[in-house]
Amino acid sequence: MNGTDIRILRAHEIAALLTGRETDVLHAVRAAYEAHAFGVSSLPHSTFLRFPDSPQNRIIALPAYLGDDFDVAGVKWIASFPDNHSTGLERASAVVILNSLRTGRPEAILEGSIISAQRTAASAALGAQYLHQDRGVSCVGIIGCGLINLEIVRFLRVAFPAIDTLVTFDTSEEHVARFKELCRTRFAGLEVVGVPDAESVLRTVSLCSLATTTAEPHIHDLTACPPGSTILNISLRDLSPQAILTCDNVVDDVDHVCRAQTSVHLAEQLVGNRAFIRCTLADITSGAAVARAEPDTVAVFSPFGLGVLDLAVSKLVLDLALATDQGTVITSFLPGPMPRPVTYRHVIPAGPHAETHELSTGETSALPDNVLALASTRTQ
pLDDT single digits (tens) 120-169: 999 999 999 999 988 899 999 999 999 999 999 999 999 999 999 999 99
Given pLDDT bands bounded at 50, 70 and 90, which one contains residue 365?
A: very low
Answer whether residue 374 shows pLDDT above 70.
Answer: no
What was the pLDDT predicted at 197? 97
Average pLDDT, stretch 314-333? 96
Average pLDDT estimate for 181-210? 97
Can you give the pTM of this predicted structure? 0.87
Stronger pLDDT, 372 or 55, i.e. the higher one: 55
Query: Is 191 a residue whose pLDDT tops 80?
Result: yes
**Whether pLDDT at 200 is above 60:** yes
Per-residue pLDDT band at 339 (split at 50, 70, 90): confident
Strand order across the beta sheet in which 355-360 lies: 355-360, 343-348, 378-379
Q: Provide the 3-class DSSP secondary structure of residue 118.
A: helix
Mean predicted confidence (pLDDT) in 271-298: 97
What does the pLDDT read at residue 347?
57
> Which of 102-111, 319-328, 349-358 is least confident?
349-358
Q: What is the dihedral of CA 102, 106, 107, 110, to 10 degrees?
A: 140
Domains of the chain listed by start with CATH number: 6-114+309-330 (3.30.1780.10), 131-304 (3.40.50.720), 343-379 (no CATH)
**Amino acid 377: pLDDT:** 42
Angstrom distances, CA of residue 284 to CA of 25, 251, 280:
19, 11, 7
Give the pLDDT of residue 360: 55
Over residues 93-101, mean pLDDT: 97
| Residue 220, helix vs strand vs coil | coil
Share of the chain above pLDDT 70, in %: 89
Asked if pLDDT for residue 376 goes beyond 50, the answer is: no
**In the structure, what pLDDT confidence band is assigned to residue 352 with cuts at 50, 70 and 90?**
low
What pLDDT sits at residue 257? 98
H or E element at residue 119? helix 113-131
| Cα angle: 264, vertex 266, 267; to 5 degrees | 65
Predicted confidence (pLDDT) at residue 5 exceeds the cutoff of 50: yes
245: pLDDT strictly greater than 80 = yes
